[in-house]
């Protein structure tokens, strides 16, 4: 796993160097300031760059890529709105890496291909070459050996022009990792020796140490112990003092090698050194500092004072020796008494702790049972309530369609009949107004019935239903709604799909009614074990602390709780609102 991260970092860092602003290392306050400035200035490109840096900052600080996935999607969306095609494809390529890490190979490779075609079309050899290397790795991870080899050959041909030795080394390291994972230790050792050769050509000390270490490591796994010992000892000599982790790993491999060669004393020596190497560096620095201070104050007067103290110490030591002999007998007796008391007290304390622990565990179990019963009751009550709401919605929709809709249709037919008898009425203003109001009433009745009973959800699935929901909102003065989806949703349980539809419907209605927004983004993402729902607008926003309830959030919170999901609302006055609902789904869905 560490090898994969190093390789990906090298690829990403060299790719970012084609656009220096992507390669900046910003802290949290700088990123936040950039985002706030972008919002105030209504600059989508500055917002996009802030979300891009926030994605990598959050990933580096927490080690979790879920938020980075969301932030890179926002970054790409805003780069697109800003009209920066190069930055848009750059962010999309990074987003594709996260999609590939979730096993969505086809969608990731599609996004990679779009970026590659753009770089080729614009003649950007640098970015094209680096993207070929990334696509080769993605195909290799997918298991498509032919494609991986084809893209590797294309990369090699391009890199002969670009001549980026560091990228050659990164690709070679990826091959070392791949063959090592497959157990092909001889091939991995050969590839590691290629890394060592390239590193020695450019005199890159870190890569030289890396190549020596992995040649030794895979020689050890290939049971060529003498070769392993040779290269590991070279790596031990060439490892920089600052690379504590590498030095520790080298010591571990040396310990294993010596153990395989039955040199148990040396094996123990290197095992101990691997454990203590971090503390050894700190101790060495402290000793050097103390040594410098000692040299500053090491005068003749100090030496005489030290000598005098040593003589006094020897006198005290002799007197102490005599006292120790006298106290030794008494100490042995007291020790025996104290030892007996210690065991008695320890046994009693142990019994008390065990009894207290058992009582606490029993109480916790009882409390947990009570909480489980309460949660079960709440869920059952909520399920009944939601089922009742949907049943009532279906009944009202059916009544509107069958009863009110039928009556309105009959009225419309009657008016058309009257108009055919007296055609002159077609020019009457009052008659025209009545007909227009009737048409508007029929359309509104049909719209209300469709909202209360989404037939597209039952017939075509969640994605089609949400696309239909967002497409129905249009007109002058109405916010533009964009819809994005990632992953496969065809196999989601109907009840989960219906509640997800209702949640997004409620959030969109809230933005339309209260946000005064110009743009609304709806995004749904499917992974192996959850569905993430995102509704974001650029409207007036609000203070979540002072508006915990109302504005339709109660219905959203109840449905999220019913689905055992989590609701997160991020908003501030004048900065829009972003609502994320994550819903867990069964890992067996969509699997044969």
Structure confidence by residue, pLDDT tens digits, 429-453: 667 667 667 766 766 666 665 555 5
- Plot region of 191 (φ>0 → left; ψ -120 to 50 → alpha; else → beta): alpha
Q: Supply the pLDDT for residue 390.
A: 58
What does residue 573 show for φ and ψ, rounded to 5 degrees?
-60, 125
Is-contact 405 445, C-beta < 8 A? yes
Is-contact 209 239, C-beta < 8 A? yes
Q: Supply the pLDDT for residue 10.
A: 42
Secondary structure of 49-75 as H, E, C letters? HHHHHHHHHHHHHHCCCHHHHHHHHHH
Structure tokens of 530? 């959850």
pTM for the model stands at 0.38
Reduced to 3 states, what is the DSSP secondary structure of residue 530? strand
Question: What domains, with CATH codes, occur in the chain?
Answer: 15-162 (1.25.40.10), 199-294 (1.25.40.10), 456-584 (3.30.565.10)
Q: Supply the pLDDT for residue 5.
A: 40
Indicate the helix (H) or strand (E) that contains 584. strand 577-584
Distance CA 59, CA 52 (A): 11
Buried b / exposed e across 130-159, counting CB within 10 Å, b at 16+? bbbbbbbbbbbbbeeeebbeebbebbeebb
- The low-confidence residues of the chain, meaning pLDDT below 50, are 1-18, 242, 281, 284-285, 287-299, 302, 551, 588, 590-592
106-144 tens-digit pLDDT: 998 899 899 989 988 988 887 888 788 888 888 888 888
Report how far apart, in Å, the C-alpha atoms of 391 and of each of 383, 395, 397, 452 are.
12, 6, 10, 10
What does residue 487 show for φ and ψ, rounded to 5 degrees?
100, 180
Helices 225-238 and 205-221 cross at an angle (nearest 10°) of 160
Q: Are strands 530-537 and 577-584 parallel, antiparallel or unpaired?
A: antiparallel
Distance CA 503, CA 454 (A): 13
Distance CA 142, CA 100 (A): 9
């Amino acid at each position: 796993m560490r090898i994969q991260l190093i390789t990906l970092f090298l690829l990403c860092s060299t790719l970012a160097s084609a656009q220096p602003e992507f390669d900046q290392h910003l802290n949290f306050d700088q990123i936040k300031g950039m985002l706030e400035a972008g919002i105030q200035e209504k600059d989508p490109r500055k917002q996009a760059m802030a979300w891009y840096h926030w994605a990598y900052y959050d990933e580096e600080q927490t080690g979790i890529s879920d938020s980075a996935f969301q932030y890179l999607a926002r970054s790409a969306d805003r780069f697109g709105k800003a009209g920066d095609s190069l930055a848009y494809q750059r962010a999309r390529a990074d987003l594709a890496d996260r999609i590939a890490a979730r096993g969505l190979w086809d969608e990731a490779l599609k996004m990679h291909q779009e970026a590659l075609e753009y770089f080729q079309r614009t003649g950007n050899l640098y970015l094209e070459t680096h993207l070929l290397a990334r696509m080769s790795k993605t195909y290799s991870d997918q298991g498509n050996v032919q494609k991986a080899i084809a893209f590797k050959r294309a990369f090699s041909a391009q890199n002969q022009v670009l001549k980026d030795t560091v990228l050659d080394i990164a690709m070679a390291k990826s091959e070392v990792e791949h063959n090592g994972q497959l157990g092909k230790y001889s091939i991995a050792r050969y590839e590691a020796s290629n890394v060592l050769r390239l590193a020695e050509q450019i005199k890159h000390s870190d890569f030289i140490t890396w190549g020596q270490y992995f040649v030794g490591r895979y020689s050890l796994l290939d049971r060529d112990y003498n070769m392993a010992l040779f290269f590991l000892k070279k790596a031990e000599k060439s490892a920089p003092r600052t690379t504590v982790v590498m030095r520790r790993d080298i010591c571990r491999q040396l310990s294993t090698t010596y153990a395989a060669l039955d040199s148990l004393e040396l094996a123990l020596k290197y095992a101990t050194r691997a454990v203590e190497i971090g503390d050894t560096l700190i101790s060495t620095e402290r000793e050097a500092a103390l040594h410098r201070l000692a040299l500053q104050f090491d005068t003749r007067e100090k030496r005489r004072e030290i000598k005098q103290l040593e003589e006094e110490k020897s006198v005290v030591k002799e007197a102490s020796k005599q006292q120790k002999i006298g106290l030794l007998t008494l100490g042995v007796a007291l020790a025996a008494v104290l030892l007996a008391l210690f065991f008695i007290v320890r046994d009693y304390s142990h019994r008390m702790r065990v009894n207290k622990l058992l009582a606490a565990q029993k109480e916790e179990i009882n409390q947990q049972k009570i909480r489980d019963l309460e949660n079960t009751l709440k869920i059952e009550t909520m399920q009944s309530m939601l089922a009742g709401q949907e049943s009532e919605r279906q009944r009202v929709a059916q009544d509107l369609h069958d009863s009110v809709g039928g009556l309105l249709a009959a009225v419309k037919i009657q008016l058309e009949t009257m108009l055919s008898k007296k055609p002159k009425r077609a020019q009457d203003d009052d008659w025209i107004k009545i007909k227009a109001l009737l048409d508007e009433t029929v359309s509104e009745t049909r719209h209300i019935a469709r909202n209360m009973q989404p037939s597209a959800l039952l017939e075509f699935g969640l994605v089609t239903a949400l696309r239909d929901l967002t497409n129905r909102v249009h007109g002058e003065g109405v916010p533009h709604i964009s819809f994005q989806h990632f992953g496969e949703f065809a196999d989601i349980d109907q009840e989960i799909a219906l509640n997800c539809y209702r949640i997004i419907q409620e959030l969109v209605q809230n933005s339309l009614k209260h946000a005064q927004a110009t743009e609304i983004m709806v995004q749904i993402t499917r992974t192996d074990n959850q569905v993430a729902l995102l509704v974001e607008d650029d409207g007036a926003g609000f203070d979540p602390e002072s508006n915990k309830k109302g504005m339709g959030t109660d219905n959203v919170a109840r449905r999220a709780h019913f689905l055992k999901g989590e609701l997160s609302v991020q908003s501030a006055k004048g900065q829009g609102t972003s609502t994320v609902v994550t819903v867990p789904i069964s890992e067996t869905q969509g699997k044969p």
